[in-house]
Amino acid sequence: AQRVTQPEKLLSVFKGAPVELKCNYSYSGSPELFWYVQYSRQRLQLLLRHISRESIKGFTADLNKGETSFHLKKPFAQEEDSAMYYCALLNGGSQGNLIFGKGTKLSVKP
Amino acid sequence: NAGVTQTPKFQVLKTGQSMTLQCAQDMNHEYMSWYRQDPGMGLRLIHYSVGAGITDQGEVPNGYNVSRSTTEDFPLRLLSAAPSQTSVYFCASSPRASSNQPQHFGDGTRLSIL
């Protein structure tokens, strides 16, 4: 079954510390993965997608097919990074639906 | 462009009432979807549409109806509201189904059922 697992409900770090939000997936084909972010009282927005291999706001995520992981990393956390982060897997075929993890709330303390 | 617009932003209903959550997009996207967001549950897909006139069920469709008469609009109907439907509802769109283009989300509708 296709599934996205984010094992941490809450992750709390101090400003300037490295941060890693974990995401593991289960998918039979070649996965397309995304990270979405939701800042307080705002809409969900795309942070990055693995196909672009980009760095947004200092965040990166590498797809590791051997470990079926797509962890989100940032070397130095900022207070404005505090938000809810969702890992999502594109359900292939004609549906194109996103399968979301349960989310991780990142809290960056001053 | 307004992107994805949802109305209303907040709504309180009594058990058994019906209502329609509106969603409109002005990006000529083929694919539209509805999610509900609950604490500890993430986002779960309710219904989706790959184009005008085509709808299908997602993970949690019971108690909800949708229609897609135009490309722009994708309303979500609660037939007989129940307290279990208290949630935040998000509408999203993307250029086409199976697209690796990002989905664009609306601001959400916070719905409380008493």
Mutate to test the interface with A, among B105, B107, B109, B110 (most CBs of A within 10 A): B105
Digit-by-digit pLDDT tens for chain B (114 residues) are 679 999 999 999 999 999 999 999 999 999 999 999 998 888 999 999 999 999 999 999 999 999 999 999 999 999 999 999 999 999 999 988 766 677 899 999 999 999
Q: Using 50, 70 and 90 to split pLDDT, how confident is the model at A62?
A: confident
Q: Where are the alpha helices (DSSP H) in B8-61?
A: none
b/e for A18-54, b at 16 or more Cβ within 10 A? ebebbbbbebeeebbbbbbbbeeeebbebbbbbeeee
Q: Do A97 and B43 touch (CB under 8 A)?
A: no
Measured CA distances, A80 to A84, A105, B81 (Å): 12, 13, 37
Q: How far B84 CA sits from the closest chain A CA (Å)?
A: 18
